[in-house]
Structure 1
Amino acid sequence: MDERVHEHAEVLVDWSARVEAGDDVVLSVAEGTHDLAVAVAEELGDRGANLLTTYDSDEVARAYLRAHDGGFSTGEHELTMVENADVYLRLGGGRNTSALADVPSTARQKYATATAELREARMATDWVSTVHPTRSLAQQAGMAYEEYRNFAYSAILRDWEALAGEMAGMKELLDSGSEVRIEKERTDLTMSVEGRTAVNSAASVSYDSHNLPSGEVFTAPHATEGEVFFDVPMTINGKRLRDVSLTFEGGEVVDFSAGANEGELETILDTDDGARRSGELGIGMNRGIDRFTDNILFDEKMGDTIHLALGRAYDACLPDGEAGNASAVHVDLITDMSEGVMEIDGEVVQRNGVFRWEEGFER
């Protein structure tokens, strides 16, 4: 086994999930992640955690969703399991990244709505999602398998403590700011971040961060106004969305278009009232990610990108007692800022993908 698999497991268990002796851990294992699952199980056993393993297969999900009549229940049996867990670890990496492509959008929408309580329960645990580099992900990224593995581990096996220190400056700017403006071709968007708390997403639950790799600073914007163009293609629910344009008025999407699979975008927006509002503004800062791979876990963390999520806002960004945007979906869309400007309260923070504290920033 590649030694980097063991390093990945150690980072996941120690740095990311902070697993301790006696913790009840649910380990969700996708089809192609056997090696990583074995390494994670060894790490959990070494720490004296209690392990329950579940199988996560897009092909199994496809069969279920296509056969069901659509009257989905909450899934009380799975809810009970998650509510009794301290830690929930998801290992992604299936055999076919388009396995769900022919599942009707209405079925996915109904299932997402019915299982909203289950997702909330998962998010109440110390949950972390990661991926094992598989051949299907390499193919989706248009890369040779070994090339993709090198890419993935360069993003995952980082000095996370050092990156957390660097990203702290962006968090401070967002926390003290009132308005963010994004300008580039076909984009002029403003949003309020006043009263919000940004998350320094350094791949650890101790930072309110739940992805490995991570490397972004995100917050929960509101009062979003203007137009935004997402020029980074992204496969969502097995459908590849490309060249997405959104127009916001009064904080809500009032017009939209897509160069491919516009119907899928419409289905997402029609999920519920919150799906037409922005739930997240994320600023990518992981310089270990140097290309787009059609995988949101990596692409949204890339150092010269910004992403917005339609739907659910994260509680960590909200004042105590305040409810943010609620939705059964949280769908990220990415725009490349290599030719664009981001301002906070009128001050340029990033120009053409370079942050103002980095070498090469044009003042």
Structure 2
Amino acid sequence: MISEHDQKLATLILEHSTEVQKDQNVMVQLIGLNGINLLRALVEQIRAKAAHPFIQIEDAESQRILVEQGNETFWKNQAKVDQLPKMKQMDAFIGIRASENIYETSQAGKEANKAYSEHFLKPVHFDERVNNTNWCIMRYPSPAFAMNAKMPTRAFTEFYYKACLVDYGKLEEAMKPLEKRLRATDEIHLKGEGTDIKFSVKGQNWVPCFGKRNVPDGELFTSPVLDSINGVISYAPSVYQGKPFEFVKLEVENGVVVDFDSSNNDALKDILDTDEGARRFGEFSFGLNPVIESPMYDILFDEKIYGSNHLTLGKDYEVAPNGNSSNIHWDLVCIGADVYLDGELVRKGRKFVADDLKGLNPEELL
């Protein structure tokens, strides 16, 4: 039986996020079987709109085998024969990440991950899906997901839907004063425990996010001027390529990572050595979802934590470019640093202190 929450989430995704219209082609991808009821709600509502759902259900463990054993030839063929031609015909893409184990691909080696990223993810998703479809990506709640969040399953499920179904119209309006300030800003300075880093965003585009591409949502992003970044930054726990990191700390000179420390330095070195752009940064963002308070080892939630910022290693987005090209895009999150815009303190810790920005604090949005 499809729950009322899943029906509401499906409606949000189709009407607000992807704006599906009659006769459009919509790919609905489910990785892991846990989110089957959301998929069913989506399919039902897509057909009610007289649009055309294309269902893709993937078993997480089978996908692990492919990632571990795949090589350049295999992924080029997968992209060429199946996924890329199909994606080129889609008007919208909805991705439900419902795997029970976020560490499923943690044993895939450096070369296997590189082949998958370069010859499948990049052409199919980064180049085609991101740039040419209305797309939305989300996770789906499970006991394993709740465990990573250190919450009881029932409490986590309630939190999940509350975070996903925030009032995005209200959040969009509250972002506008910050967007206005940022478009006039040259230098951003983050300063906090283990973090003291400065960079320029002069002339860069800013993109407000309020439920159009991710659910849950709530961020305002750009890309830093590529060679302007200098200092040190410390990040919250993260998982990338199925590998857990309890902390990551980077030292940056003129936009390039020159030193690093983490709870898993061998894996971090492999990621940074992916290509030249992997040691540079392609995105900077403010996390603004008023419901999400702490990291849960899932970047679609963690990058939206209120009072956070992410300074992202790897590829930029075409909508807010800075010229960095890479086969990785790792949204590492820094929580609670003071934020200065051209020397003015606008956020102290996790709360905005500038009068025109206080509307973004959680007590004003909930």
Normalising by structure 1, we get a TM-score of 0.92
Q: Which residue pairs with 1:207 in the alignment?
A: none
**Distance in 1 of aligned mates of 2:162 and 2:295:** 14
User: How far is 1:324 from its partner?
Assistant: 2.3
How many correspondences in the alignment? Answer: 348
Match of 2:259 among 255, 260, 263: 255
> SS state of the match for residue 43, structure 1?
helix
User: How far is 1:69 from its partner?
Assistant: 4.8
User: Any conservation in 1 of the 2:205–2:320 contact (CA below 8 Å)?
Assistant: yes
**Distance in 2 of aligned mates of 1:181 and 1:317:** 20
User: How far is 1:85 from its partner?
Assistant: 0.7
**Distance in 1 of aligned mates of 2:245 and 2:88:** 34
User: How far is 1:359 from its partner?
Assistant: 8.1
User: How far is 1:43 from its partner?
Assistant: 1.2
User: How far is 1:152 from its partner?
Assistant: 0.6
Matched, 1:123 2:126: no
**Distance in 1 of aligned mates of 2:217 and 2:71:** 38
Q: Which residue pairs with 1:154 in the alignment?
A: 162
Q: Which residue pairs with 1:66 in the alignment?
A: 68
**Code of the aligned partner of 1:277:** R
Normalising by structure 2, we get a TM-score of 0.91
User: Any conservation in 2 of the 1:275–1:310 contact (CA below 8 Å)?
Assistant: yes
**Distance in 1 of aligned mates of 2:97 and 2:27:** 14
Q: Which residue pairs with 1:346 in the alignment?
A: 343
**Code of the aligned partner of 1:334:** V
**Distance in 2 of aligned mates of 1:244 and 1:67:** 28
**Distance in 1 of aligned mates of 2:75 and 2:158:** 41
Q: Which residue pairs with 1:282 in the alignment?
A: 285
> SS state of the match for residue 317, structure 1?
coil
Match of 1:111 among 111, 116, 126: 116
User: Any conservation in 1 of the 2:174–2:359 contact (CA below 8 Å)?
Assistant: no
User: Any conservation in 2 of the 1:58–1:100 contact (CA below 8 Å)?
Assistant: no
The verdict on how the C-alpha distance between 1:254 and 1:261 changes in structure 2, with shifts beyond 3 A counting, is same
Match of 1:193 among 189, 197, 201: 201
Matched, 1:175 2:175: no
**Distance in 2 of aligned mates of 1:91 and 1:185:** 35
Q: Which residue pairs with 1:142 in the alignment?
A: 150
**Distance in 2 of aligned mates of 1:360 and 1:105:** 40
> SS state of the match for residue 62, structure 2?
helix
User: How far is 1:12 from its partner?
Assistant: 0.7
**Distance in 1 of aligned mates of 2:259 and 2:106:** 25
**Code of the aligned partner of 1:98:** Y
Alignment of 1:47-58 (within 5 A): 47-58=49-60
Matched, 1:237 2:241: yes
User: How far is 1:237 from its partner?
Assistant: 1.8
Q: Which residue pairs with 1:355 in the alignment?
A: 352
- For residues 166-188 of structure 1, give each alpha carbon's deviation from its aligned partner in whole angstroms, at most 9, with x where no partner exists: 01222112111111110112211
- For residues 128-152 of structure 1, give each alpha carbon's deviation from its aligned partner in whole angstroms, at most 9, with x where no partner exists: 1012212221122222111111111
Alpha-carbon RMSD: 1.7
User: Any conservation in 2 of the 1:272–1:328 contact (CA below 8 Å)?
Assistant: yes
Matched, 1:184 2:192: yes
User: How far is 1:243 from its partner?
Assistant: 2.1
> SS state of the match for residue 324, structure 2?
coil
Which stretch shifts more, 43-52 or 99-108?
99-108
- Show structure 2 runs of 5+ residues with no match: 362-366
User: Any conservation in 1 of the 2:204–2:223 contact (CA below 8 Å)?
Assistant: yes
User: Any conservation in 1 of the 2:175–2:360 contact (CA below 8 Å)?
Assistant: no
Q: Which residue pairs with 1:226 in the alignment?
A: 231
**Distance in 1 of aligned mates of 2:162 and 2:186:** 35
Q: Which aligned runs of 4 or more in structure 1 are off by greater than 4 angstroms?
A: none
**Distance in 2 of aligned mates of 1:152 and 1:37:** 17
Q: Which residue pairs with 2:364 in the alignment?
A: none
**Code of the aligned partner of 2:128:** A
Which stretch shifts more, 304-313 or 98-107?
98-107
Matched, 1:132 2:132: no
Q: Which residue pairs with 2:316 in the alignment?
A: 313
Q: Which residue pairs with 2:12 in the alignment?
A: 11
**Distance in 2 of aligned mates of 1:347 and 1:25:** 45
**Distance in 2 of aligned mates of 1:178 and 1:64:** 45
In proportion to residue count, which structure has more helix? 2
- Percent identity reads 28
